[in-house]
Amino acid sequence: MSKRIGIVGAGVTPFKGTWREKTYYELAQMAAREAVKDAQIEISDVDAAFYGIYNDIFERTAIPEHAIHGLLGMQNKFGIRITNGGATGAYTMSAAHAYLAAGRFKTALVLGVEKATDCFDFSSMSATPEVIKTIGWSGDSFFEQGIGWTASDSYAEVVLAYLDEHPGDLKPEITARISAQLSQQVRDNKYAQRQFDQVTPEEVINSRLVVYPFKELEICVYTEGAAALIFAEEETAKEISRNNGTPVVWITGVGEANEHSFAGKNQKNMSRIMSDYYASHRAYEMAGIKDPTKSIDIVELHDAFVHQLEISMAEFGLVPLGNADSLIEDGLMTPGGKYLVNPCGGLIYCGHAVGASNIMSAWSARNELIKRGLKTALVHGTGSTVAQYTACLIFEHV
């Protein structure tokens, strides 16, 4: 019988476009310090560390976690790094959950960190093209990297294929309204990269095309930062909760799926994000959720792109495929609506520090469940080419 696992501490660094003042060593320690402080434990109380770091090239070193382990005071204990594209953070939580549920450890540090904008393109004298290029090394190296594969164009493939099947959905005025709404929600997140970057739907529509059909204000931004959680098995979690007075948020469901990375018969159906479908429904099943539309209160969704946010919500079964615009048109995610989606501002406004992003989302979901007295949240991470990877977790606060 697997053990029940809960979150007993959480912390994040400010998410910033660039951190000239810190290396990733210090960012990692900042988040870890915040998490143990929140749990009111000492780092020596933590049995194991799980590191979510996406891309060696961003950190400019292979096995970038090796230095962090001792700098966090975790020497001579278990340490493992997870790297699964954009879904790195969610998969890191999934791995930590599995080890604790199996009884290997009583407590674990789940830490995500990423530097990105140390990368710099000297031909255009700006960071962004080099950041995109660095992510571009993640594409298939025999057939796709050389012809300009990027994360944006691979997700755009999925969105356009969805629109081939559902031409009336994902209307530009709706994606613009969602982006504008997220820019309002981020106001309350003092750690966000774009806390004060409120935009109107008109500004979103007028922003420039980056990769058709994505406009600049519909895309997540590159970020540097770290996020950390303390996981504990049931008895330890209850003891920590009694001590710090903060309720445990339980992880009641976990699900993952990685699709085929190439398209065609017996390969990926480009118009779907089946990884989102399988991962979310596996997490529902583990959590005993029969009808997610009746159970889910908060969704902390990896919004790499607004269009993908809409499709992911449909794959989660929270709105119909082909009518994801009902999120806005039927008020399902507008303020006061049925679902609270990305109260932290999401990755578009809080920022996308890749390995840390989903862990930041979990930090937000946990805070919101406790603060608002809500019961159930879905936390999501997506990544790799054509939205190939997904991991989902269900959090419950009772």
Partner 1 sequence: MEKKKVIDEMYIPDVGSQIETIDGKEYLITNDAMYTFYRRTKGEFSPFFLALKNEKRLLGCKCTKCGLVRVPPFLTHCPDCNFVPTEMIEVEQVGIMNSTPPITYFATSMFQHMAPYGRGRVIFRGADTALSINLYTTTGILVPGIIKKGTEVKLIFRDERIGEMTDVFCIPTAELTQEEINKNGLQESEINWEVPVEPSLPDASEEDMARYRKALAELKSLIGDMNGNESARKAIAGWKRDIQVKTRGGQFAVLIDDGDIKLEETVLSSPDFIMVCDDLNILLDGLAYRGAITDSVINKKIWISKNMEFNTIFKLDRMARFLVRSKKT
- Of 386 and 391, the one with the shorter C-beta distance to partner 1 is 386
What are the CA-CA distances from residue 281 to residues 217, 256, 278 (Å)?
30, 9, 5
Give me the least distance between CB of 112 and partner 1, in Å please: 21
d(C-alpha 374, C-alpha 336), whole Å: 13
- Of 121 and 239, the one with the shorter C-beta distance to partner 1 is 121
- Of 275 and 385, the one with the shorter C-beta distance to partner 1 is 385
Question: In this structure, what token pair is assigned to residue 11?
Answer: 């912390």
Residue of 90, 210, 237, 319 that binds partner 1 (CB under 8 A): 210
Does 207 interact with partner 1 (rule: CB under 8 A)?
yes
Does 294 interact with partner 1 (rule: CB under 8 A)?
no
Q: Is there a cis peptide before residue 64, judged by omega within 30 degrees of 0?
A: no
Residue of 57, 347, 350, 365 that binds partner 1 (CB under 8 A): 57
Residues 89-128: x where in contact with partner 1 by CB under 8 A, - otherwise, as a string: --------------------------------xxxxxx--
- Element (H or E) spanning 9, and its range? strand 5-12
Does 196 interact with partner 1 (rule: CB under 8 A)?
yes
Parallel, antiparallel or unpaired: strands 48-52 and 78-82: parallel
- Of 164 and 173, the one with the shorter C-beta distance to partner 1 is 164
Give me the least distance between CB of 339 and partner 1, in Å please: 28
Does 203 interact with partner 1 (rule: CB under 8 A)?
yes
Name residues contacting partner 1, limited to 59-88 (CB under 8 A).
60
Does 20 interact with partner 1 (rule: CB under 8 A)?
yes
HSE of 170, CA atoms in CB hemisphere, 13 A: 26
Nearest to 127 by CA among 114, 118, 137: 118
Does 190 interact with partner 1 (rule: CB under 8 A)?
no
- At residue 77, what are phi and psi to the nearest 5 degrees? -120, 170
Contact by Cβ (8 Å): 179, 333: no
Give me the least distance between CB of 198 and partner 1, in Å please: 7
Name residues contacting partner 1, limited to 214-243 (CB under 8 A).
216
d(C-alpha 245, C-alpha 132), whole Å: 43
- Of 219 and 237, the one with the shorter C-beta distance to partner 1 is 219
Residue keyed to tokens 């559902």: 166
What are the CA-CA distances from residue 249 to residues 56, 95, 176 (Å)?
32, 17, 33
Give me the least distance between CB of 248 and partner 1, in Å please: 38
d(C-alpha 165, C-alpha 181), whole Å: 27
Phi-psi category of residue 350: left, alpha or beta, with phi > 0 → left and psi -120 to 50 → alpha = alpha
- Of 85 and 139, the one with the shorter C-beta distance to partner 1 is 139
Parallel, antiparallel or unpaired: strands 298-300 and 376-383: parallel
Residues 246-275: x where in contact with partner 1 by CB under 8 A, - otherwise, as a string: ----------------xxxxxx--xx----
The one-character DSSP state at 169 is: S
- Of 92 and 385, the one with the shorter C-beta distance to partner 1 is 385
Give me the least distance between CB of 208 and partner 1, in Å please: 3
- Of 156 and 192, the one with the shorter C-beta distance to partner 1 is 156
Contact by Cβ (8 Å): 283, 394: yes
Nearest to 186 by CA among 71, 91, 303: 303
Residues 124-163: x where in contact with partner 1 by CB under 8 A, - otherwise, as a string: xxx--xx-xx--x---x-xxx-xxxxx-xx--xx--xx-x
d(C-alpha 248, C-alpha 233), whole Å: 11
Q: Give the binding site for partner 1 (CB under 8 A).
A: 20-21, 57, 60, 121-126, 129-130, 132-133, 136, 140, 142-144, 146-150, 152-153, 156-157, 160-161, 163-164, 196-198, 203, 206-213, 216, 262-267, 270-271
